[in-house]
Structures are given as structure tokens and as C-alpha cells.
Amino acid sequence: MKKTLGSVLKRRREALGLTQRELARKLGVKASHIAYLENGRRRPSLSLLSRIADTMGLDKQSLFVLTHPEARTLIGARREPTRKPSSDQVWRDFVGNRVMLRRYQIKPRELRVLRQVNMLGRVATPRQFLFILNSIRQAVDEEG
Amino acid sequence: MFARNYVRDLRRLLGYRELLALIAKASEIWPRLNRESVNIPQPARMAEMAAVMHLHFKAAPYRGPEGLALRGFYVDHGQNLLKRPLVYVNTAHHPVAVVTTFCHEIGHHMASDIFRGAGELVHLFVDADYAAHLDDSTELAADVIVALAAYPEPLARKIFGCQTPLSGLVAQAGALGDEQLEQVRERVEGHFGVNFKSMKSAPQKLRYLAGMIHFAKLRWALLEEFDT
């Protein structure tokens, strides 16, 4: 299947577990506008493109080239994005560390909560996930 | 952040009714909110206030370069996780930053009812990540509480009231003028006791200055957009 801006946006949105409405709210646009972008009926403005990249953790230059394929030769764009969002890397490091998950006895339900935290895109290190988790565990203990 | 039009962002993310609801809820805790400055509470007093709101409250230092990036967080109840929401504030920061974080997280608690269903389960306050707050209605709502607490309306009118000759649909809160910026700095240093010159960490000083400018611009925008 040919890679288009719409297909990239849809795949990423679904990977983040967002509905079109939720994404639209984050971007400050109407849900119908997201639908138009995903089915290729609209091109985003440059400012919206920038917000999409920041919100969804996507590479701005790649999105620009997908939006304006004719610009590929002008800017010598890469064929594939080479930089993954750093917050995703932190999450992969965290869930990939089986030893740590066992040591801290992290349950699937807790991982689901931390996954939501990761989707905010603001966690810098696996240690922050542990700190947040321990704070929540303390509160749960207080509730008995 | 410095180039953002705060009025436009405020208009996009927060309606007047939502603002009034937010102020009404916050006034249950701070009856003189937006009329007088909110006193700077010690962590023990914050804990008492959190208890009144039936919140879990944790105030503890989380140090290190990566630790200081975290100012605090709010965990909403629900999803079979917590029966009561949790507020955490990182006390490794300057006391005024701690209070700012507390007000911001309490703002999340106030906003959680108003934006019920639209918000995240967890809200992280990452130091100096203010540009992201201008794209998120719940973050902006939480920041509104900070701005109102720091600059009650009479003071806000004094500092920002004459900044823009235009109002209404064409109003905008862009760059703070030198005079306004100086008054804001005097306010933060004089009333809240923040001494920027004595701060040893230049990056941390810059992050605090970014916060000072962000909340001042937001307060100015509230005045311009809502006359509040």
C-alpha cells in the first residue's frame, strides 16, 4: 500500500489509541477535519502540520514531504524517518526491561496506566515511570 | 511560547462559561481568589487543603537533572485505579515553584469536573513545557488557576490594563512590554520572594523565568479576552 499522509496519520493515531475526536481536540480542530486529512481530501496548513508532528510524535520533515510530494527533490528529503520519538524509546526501554518489571512486580493493569502516561509524550526516563507508579501505589495502599 | 498569541489560544481552548465554573470551584478553596493574592502555604497547609478536597497528597523531593524536570502530577480517580485523585508536588524546586505546581494540580482537579470525559487519567507538569499547555484545554485551565492566584484582578488591571489599546475581537496578548515585564518581575521577586540573581543553575533560572512570563501572559490574556 502506498504511504500517504492520511495513512501515516491514521496508523499513528490508532497506535496512540486516540479517536478522531480526541485527536481533533488536542489539535484544536474539528473531528471532521481529521477525517478529511486521513482520507486525503485536505492538506494541513504548515502550522497544523507542526502541531500534528508535536502531538503525535512524528517527524516534521517527513510529514511535510508526504503533504507536498513535489517538494521532495527540492529539499532532498529522506525516504523514511530515521528518528523515532524519544518518549517512545523511553517506553520501549521500560517495558523491555523484564528484570525491572519482575523486580517491581509491575502488573498488567499498572502497565496500562503507565502506557497512558507515556502517550502524553513527556516522560524522559524509565525512572520517572517508576516514580509515578510508586506514588500511585502509595495512594492505593492508603485507601486500603 | 514567547511568540504565541495567548488570547487566541485562550479563546480556542476555554470558554467563558468554563472559566466561570473554574473560578467558582476554586473559590470554594480560595474564597478570595482573584480578589486578593493567595498566600504561600507550607506543604503541611497544602496537605490540609488537599484533605478538604478529599485528595491524596504527596509532597516529596525528586532530584537530579531529570528529576527536576518533573514539577508534579495529578492522577484522576476512576478506571478502577484510585478511589480519590492524587496530587504530587516535587519539593526539590524553589518554594514558589512548589506552590505554583500545587495550584496547577489543584486546577486539574477543578477542571476534571468541567472537562469530564475529555481529560487524561494522568497529567504531568513538566518544567517549562508551557507551549504544550497552550494546546491542551485541561492544562490551560489548570494554569488559569495559577495566573489568577498570582495576579488578582485589581493587580492585573494595574499591570496589564493599559498594555493594549485594542480590545474585543482584535485583542491579543503578544509580547510583554518592558514596563509590564519589570512590574511582573518586581511582583515575583518582591511579593513571592524569588531571587533570580541568587540562582546558581542558569538553565533552571531560565525555566523559572519562562514560567514567570507564561503566567503573566496568560493573566494578561484573561483580562483581554474575558475582562476578568
Domain annotation covers residue B116:
yes
Considering CB atoms only, which of A28, A124, A142 is closest to B66?
Answer: A124
In a domain, B91, yes or no: yes
Asked which of A20-24, A62-66, B124-128 is least confident by mean pLDDT, the reply is A62-66
**pLDDT band at residue A83 under the 50/70/90 scheme:** very low
Chain B within 8 Å of A143 (Cβ-Cβ)?
yes
B83 close contact with A: CB closer than 8 A? yes
Q: What is the pLDDT of residues B104-115, one digit of tens each?
A: 999 999 998 887
Q: Mind giving me the DSSP string for chain A?
A: ----HHHHHHHHHHHTT--HHHHHHHHTS-HHHHHHHHTTS----HHHHHHHHHHHT--HHHHHHHH-GGGHHHHT--SS-----HHHHHHHHHHH-HHHHHHTT--HHHHHHHHHHHHTT---SHHHHHHHHHHHHHHHHHH-
Q: What is the pLDDT of residue A100?
A: 84
Q: Tell me, what's the ipTM?
A: 0.81
Q: Is it the case that residue B44 has pLDDT exceeding 60? A: yes
Has residue B199 been placed in a domain?
A: yes
Would an 8 Å CB–CB cutoff place A82 in contact with chain B? no
pLDDT higher at A126 or A86: A126
Put simply, the answer to whether B137 touches A25 (Cβ < 8 Å) is: yes
Q: Tell the residue number behind the cell numbers 533560572, with chain if given.
A: B205
Mark yes or no for CB contact B81/A127 under 8 Å: no
Compute how many other C-beta atoms are within 10 angstroms of the C-beta atom of residue B65.
11
User: Which residues constitute the domain of residue B42?
Assistant: 6-226
The count of structural domains within chain B is 1
pLDDT tens sequence across B178-188: 888 889 999 89
- Within an 8 Å CB–CB cutoff, is residue B138 touching chain A? no
Q: Are B56 and B86 in contact (CB under 8 A)?
A: yes
Q: Does pLDDT of B154 surpass 80?
A: yes
| Domain contains B1 | no
Of all residues in chain B, the one with the smallest CA distance to A29 is: B12
| pLDDT at A86 (0 to 100) | 66
- Shortest Cα–Cα distance, B56 to chain A (Å): 6
- Establish if B73 touches chain A: CB-CB under 8 angstroms: yes
Q: Are A61 and A78 in contact (CB under 8 A)?
A: yes
- B-chain residues near A142 (CB < 8 A): 56
In a domain, B29, yes or no: yes
Q: Distance (Å) from the C-alpha of residue B57 to the closest C-alpha of chain A?
A: 8
Q: Tell me whether B122 touches chain A (CB under 8 Å).
A: yes
Contact call for B86 and A135, based on CB within 8 A: yes
Which residue is closest to A125 within chain B, CA to CA?
B66
In three-state secondary structure terms, B59 is strand
